[in-house]
Structures are given as structure tokens and as C-alpha cells.
Amino acid sequence: MLLMFAFFQLAVVILLVLLGFFVFVNDPRSRANQTFGAFIAFLAFWTTKDLVFWNFNDPAFGAGWWAAASFATALFLQYALVIFAWVFPENNRIPREKAAVFFAPGLIFIPAALLGYLWESIELADDSFSIALSPLAYIFVGYIYFLFFYGFAVLARKYRLYAGTQRAKQLGAIILALAITGVLKTLANLILPYFDRYELLPFSSLFVIPGVLIYAYAITNFKLLSLQTTLDQFRLFPITYKIAVSIAAVAVPSFFIFQVPIAWWAFRDGMTSFAWEKFLIFSIISALVPNLLLLLMVVRSVSRPLQRITLAAIEVTNGRYGAEADLRKSNDEIGLLASSFNEMSRKMAEDLERLRRMNEQLQRADRLAAMGTLATGVAHEVNNPLASISSLIQLIRSRKDNDPETNEDLDLIAAQIERIKRVTHDLTDFSRSRPPGRSLVNVKDVVNSALQLANYDASFSRLEIRSSVSDELPQIMADASQLQQVLLNLLLNARDAMQDGGVLEINAAHSGNALRLTVADSGSGFDEQVSRNAFDPFFTTKPAGKGTGLGLAVCYGIVTAHGGTIEIRSAEKGGAEVVVEIPIAK
């Protein structure tokens, strides 16, 4: 019977620890949950001292230690109750000044209990217990009940304040738990002992279990016994609690698997010095197995992931932006840290790439502005001498005594003058940065008009032109003639890239807050240097005499003036494609 009662109390201690752990993990930042954890710790200590005193007490130690521990723990339990009443359910801060006033008597009562001033005599002999309290003990008990009823009153006032709400239901359940616990504890610890009846005193620690369960059920918002809540808590365990569960999962089974058999084997012939030697040696050896297992679990769950995150951070520090820590996804702190680090590294790489492109665009804009100013002066200075040369050519041509060779030379000179005029004309167009005359534009109309103009060029007949532009696309606010100039320039570039024929594709699609226009060809494509410099003035891949290198620069100026972007890249099926994005009209 004694052994069964001891095991029952041990089971209660384990239940209390698990319950407190579960409720605390449910919301570690909640002051109510923190207070419940402290309350459970004191209650587990209370139950443990009762287990030792009523089942395994050594007469040499007397009973005074049990009384001192009982008085001190009872006071700490009431402190936890009052603090809980202050903070629940709003998660308020503890009023420190009020707490100092309410808890100040503990500075007298706790030392008095520990020094044995609360009783005149106490004895446990032959299963007979007796205690004679001192007058100070009755004052102590009065202080205990003052704290209890004060906490009860604070919770009752909040219950009336939140009447009809979920908080009121929680408070009502907690008040019920306090009432049940208060009645049972008063009966076992105060009323019956006052009449020298101590039969229920060994069981007093068990009377709080119903109240504790109601208490925990209420502060977890009536989800304590929910299977889904339990699974969620295990899924959301932070790393600290995962390690704690791992330690418990290893320590408890290892005790029954190793320590109990070793103790039986070592002491089966009596508790001799040799038996103790066997027990200590083999206990140490058997402890290596669970300790190594725990070390492996800690390394797998903490050390190895942190090492991978550290190595990834060093790579980022050394300039390899975008490096990521290769870890399995988890919901603990390390998993969150790894996920946040990887996201930060990706965003850093994306931001740096965006800054690089913006820097290139700014440099290109500066070059375009400088070249525009230079182009105006060059065109003006070149056109004047060209006009004089053209007049002289016309004068020489008018002579009737010119031989055929002279006329041929004059024709060649005139052709070169026309070429120079085309270049100066392009320079003039490039330098003329008139703002776009914006209006609502249907992109399909712009595409159709550009294709109609391109078809006048016989060289387009060797190309297979595919146009995919829907009538349902939203309109854009743009200068239709300038967009037509951009599109026509892109079509001519695509034609020049396919001298032996090919496929020319024009697509338009809705992309976020912009309209995307793509012109792709099946030509020979280009390298990275071309994509970087394609929009620079006078950069061209065409043979000498075939292009001025100003077409894409003009396109870039027009598109950016519309608040859009233009990009050239390799097409998926080979060749090149130019992507233009213009904001949709709001």
C-alpha cells in the first residue's frame, strides 16, 4: 500500500511537470503562462516533499524540515496566485510597488518558518503525526488566506468587467478551480488538523489536481485537451524545448533500461562496499550510451545547422552574394534563422543586381546627354561644308567637257556626301529630345502601322513575320509616333540580323502594371558585351557603312522618357529579342 501511494505521488509529480511545461510552451511570452509555470514548480516541490516525508522519512531528520518547507511553499503558491490575478487575462505588467507592499511580510514569515518559529513541537512516530503551532503560525495562516481571498476578489472583479465575453468564461473557470482547491486544502490542512485529525494531510497535495487542470484548461483558452493543439505545440516547439524533450526522451527510458537492472544486479546480495563499487562503475559506463545519443541529437539539431549558416555567412562576407544555407525547413529558431538568412542573401543579390543595372542606366543617360550636345554641334559644323561641297559638285557636273571618269568620281563623291548627310540627320534626331506628346494609345494600332511601313521594304518579304497582339490589351499613355519610331527601328535591326531569311516575332502582353512588347528574331544572336553596350551611342555590330549605332540609343531615350524600360537579351530559341515595357494608363 505504501509503495503504491509513493508511485501514485510520483506519477502526480510527473503529470504536474508535463502540464506546466505544456502550458508554458503554449505561449512562453504570456505572463499568465509564466506564472502558471512557477505555480506548477512550487506545487511539484510540495508534492515531492510530501512523497519523501510520508513514505521515506528518516526519524533522524525529524519532521521540522517538512513543516518549514510546507509553510514556505504555501506562501510562494499564494504569491503566484496574486501575480496571476494581476496579469491575467490582459497580460499586464506586474505592479512592482504594490507587489513590494503585499509581499513584504514574507521577509519575516519565510525566515520564521525556516528557523522553526511557527510551531512549538512536531513529531512523526509510528505513523502518528502531531504538531503544536505557535501564535505566529496563526498570523501566518491569516496572511496566507488574505492573499488567497485578495487574488480571488481581483479575478471576480475582472469576471464582472468582462461579462459575456470569452475572457469571462476563462475567469469563471479559474474562479471555480480556486474555490474547489481552497475548500479541499482548507479541509485537509486546517479544519481537520485543528481537531487533531491528520488522516487527509498526506493527501493534501493531491487535492489541488482538479483545480490545476481546470486552471490550465482555462488559461489555454479551453484548448488544453485538444489533440490538434497538442500536435501544433509539438510542431511549433522552439529549439530549446525540442532539446528538453529529447533529453527527457533519452533520460527516462535509459534509467529503466540501464540503471534499474544495474542497481538490482549490484545490490542483490546486499549493500556492501563491493556492491557500491559495481553499481558506480557500471552506472558510469551505462551513462555513456544515452549521453552520446544526446550529444548526437544536439549536434544534429543545433551545431551542424549553425555551422552551415556560419559558412554561408562567410561566403556572403567574401562577396558571393546570394549564397544560401542548405538546411531542411523547420519551425524552430534555427530554421527561422536559416530561412531569414537565405531570404536576406537572395534579396541582397537581387538589390545589388538592380543597383548595377540602375548604375548602367545612369551612365548611359549621362553618355546620351553628352552625346546629344556634341551631336548638335557636330551636325551643324559638318552640314555647312557639305553644302558647299555639294554646290561645287553640281557646278562641275554642269560642264560639258567632263570625261566619263570625272563624272564617275563626282557620283562617288555625291554618294559619300549623302551618307554623311544621313549620319548628320541621325545625329540631329538623336540630339532633339522633345518630350513625348502623350495620349491614350492602342498598342495593336502602333504595331500594325509599323509593320505596314516595314512592308514597303522589299527585304522584309524574305522573313516570316508572326504578330501576336490582342485587341483586349489595356491602353497606354504614350506618343504614338515615337513608339512607332521605336518599333520600326527594332524591326529594321531584326531584318538586318537575318540576311538569309528567318522568323520575326512580335508579341504584346499585360505584365503587372505595364504592357510588355517583345520583338524577337531567329538570327545569330549576340554575346554579353553586345547586351551591355547595345544602347550606347555609335555602338553597332553591323559592317562599316551599314549603320551609325544611334538607332537603339534613340529607342532607349524614347522609352525611358515614357517611364518605361528596354532590354535586349538572347531569345530562348536562338537569336535576339528586345523587350520594351511601358506603364499602363491609370
Q: Is 475 exposed, middle or buried (0-12, 13-18, 19+ CB in 10 A)?
A: middle
CA separation for the pair 307, 287 (Å, rounded): 28
> Residues 375, 353: contact at Cβ < 8 Å?
no
CA separation for the pair 379, 375 (Å, rounded): 6
CB atoms within 10 A of CB 356: 10
The DSSP annotation for 237-255 comes to --HHHHHHHHHHHHHHHHI
CA separation for the pair 497, 570 (Å, rounded): 13
3-state secondary structure of 495: helix
- The residue written with cell numbers 497582339 in the block is 469
Res 227: pLDDT: 47
Alpha helices in 398-479 (DSSP H): 404-431, 443-454
Closest CA relative to residue 156, chosen from 182, 181, 174: 174
Res 156: pLDDT: 93
Tens of pLDDT, residues 82-113 = 999 999 888 888 999 999 999 999 999 999 99
**How many Cα neighbours within 13 Å face the side chain of 367?**
16
Tens of pLDDT, residues 320-362 = 888 888 777 766 677 777 888 888 888 888 888 878 777 766 6
Tens of pLDDT, residues 473-500 = 888 888 887 888 888 888 888 887 787 7
Closest CA relative to residue 467, chosen from 422, 520, 526: 520
CA separation for the pair 40, 27 (Å, rounded): 16
Res 375: pLDDT: 61
pLDDT band for position 32 (cuts 50, 70, 90): confident
pTM value?
Answer: 0.52
Q: Tell me the percentage of the chain whose pLDDT exceeds 90.
A: 12
Return the C-alpha cell found at 143.
Answer: 496572511
> Residues 483, 446: contact at Cβ < 8 Å?
yes
Instruction: Give the mean model confidence (pLDDT) for residues 163-189.
Output: 87
What is the average pLDDT score of the chain? 78
Q: Is 127 exposed, middle or buried (0-12, 13-18, 19+ CB in 10 A)?
A: exposed
Closest CA relative to residue 68, chosen from 7, 137, 19: 137
pLDDT band for position 160 (cuts 50, 70, 90): very high
Name the residue type at position 118: L
3-state secondary structure of 94: coil
Residue 475 is given by DSSP the state P
Write the CA distances from 513 to 161, 273, 279, 569, 581, integer angstroms.
Answer: 51, 86, 77, 22, 10
